[in-house]
Amino acid sequence: MSDVFSAINGRTSANNFDPTHVMSAADITELANLANQTPTSFNQQNWRLVAVNSPAAKARLKAAAYNQPKVGDAAVTFVVVGIVGGHTKLPALIKPMLDGGHIDQAAYDGWIGMANGMYNGKEQFQRDEAIRSASMAAMTLMYAAHGKGLVSGAMIGFDPAAVAAECKLAADEIPVMLIAVGNPAPGNWPRKVRRAVTEVLSFSAD
Ligand SMILES: Cc1cc2nc3c(=O)[nH]c(=O)nc-3n(C[C@H](O)[C@H](O)[C@H](O)COP(=O)(O)O)c2cc1C
C-alpha cells in the first residue's frame, strides 16, 4: 500500500489533544508549506492560514468556537481562510510564470481573460470558489499533519463573525474551517464507519 493510501486510511479526527505539546514555528510553517501545494482553480490560491498557537490567542479562539476544548488543548489551530474574488489577484500571481518563460504573453493574457470571464460579477460563485479552495487546503493540511505523526480535527462549530474579528480578516475573507493539530491525548475514537462504496459511486450511462 502506498504512503498516500495509508494516510487516507489512517487519518481520523481527534477530539483529545495533549495540552502540554508545543509546536515550533518551523514545524507549523512546514505544515503550511505542504498545504500550500494544494491546487486551486486557475491557480488563484484564494485561501490562507492563520496559525493560532499562543495560550492567550487559543483561549480567545476557543471562546469563538463554542468552547470546543480541542482549540485550547491542541498545539495549534489553523483558521483556514477563503478569499472572495481571488481571481483578481491572478495577474500578479502568475506573472512569475511569464517572466520565467514558462508561458508566453498570449497564454498569460488568455489565462487571466478566462478567469475574469468565469468569475467577474458573480459574487456567489466567487464565494463558492473561496470555500472550495479553502476546503481543499484544509484536507491537504490534515494529511500533512498525519504525515508528521500528528493528529488533526476539523471544525465548523464556530461563530464566523467572532473568528473573523479575532483574526482581523478583511471584508473579502471568510473563515471557512478550523483545523486543530497536535499530539493526541488518550480517548480518541477509532475510524468511523463510512457508507458502502456502492452508495457513493455510480457510473454514468453509456
Ligand atoms: C467540515 C467539517 C467540519 C467539522 N466540524 C466539527 C466540529 O465543529 N467539531 C467536531 O468535534 N468535529 C467536527 N468535524 C469532525 C467530523 O465529525 C468527523 O470528520 C467525522 O465524524 C468523520 O470522522 P473521521 O474524520 O474520524 O473520519 C468536522 C469535520 C469536517 C470535515
Ligand 1 centroid from CA 134, angstroms: 16
d(CA 63, CA 167): 13
| Predicted pLDDT at 136 | 98
Averaged pLDDT, 7-17: 97
Band (191; pLDDT cuts 50, 70, 90): confident
Question: Which residues are bridge partners to 78 per DSSP?
Answer: 51, 179
Predicted confidence (pLDDT) per residue in 107-124, tens digit: 999 999 999 999 999 999
pLDDT at 45 > cutoff 90: yes
Ligand 1 centroid from CA 112, angstroms: 36
Averaged pLDDT, 182-203: 97
Please count the residues of the chain: 206
CATH number for the domain formed by residue range(s) 3-86+124-200: 3.40.109.10
With vertex at residue 78, the alpha carbon angle to CA 77 and CA 83, rounded to the nearest 5 degrees, is: 155
Domain boundaries, the chain: 3-86+124-200
Backbone angles phi, psi at 109, to 5 degrees: -65, -40
Band (9; pLDDT cuts 50, 70, 90): very high
Answer yes or no: is the C-beta of 192 below 6 A from any ligand 1 atom.
yes
pLDDT at 1 > cutoff 70: no
Predicted confidence (pLDDT) per residue in 120-179, tens digit: 999 999 999 999 999 999 999 999 999 999 999 999 999 999 999 999 999 999 999 999
Answer yes or no: is the C-beta of 165 below 6 A from any ligand 1 atom.
no
Grid coordinates representing 83? Answer: 478569499
Answer yes or no: is the C-beta of 156 below 6 A from any ligand 1 atom.
yes
pTM tops 0.95, yes or no: yes
Give Cα 173 to chain centroid, integer Å: 13
Answer yes or no: is the C-beta of 157 below 6 A from any ligand 1 atom.
yes
* Mutational pocket test of ligand 1: of 156, 174, 188, the residue with most ligand atoms within 8 Å of the beta carbon: 156
Predicted confidence (pLDDT) per residue in 56-104, tens digit: 999 999 999 999 999 999 999 999 999 999 999 999 999 999 999 999 9
The one-character DSSP state at 54 is S
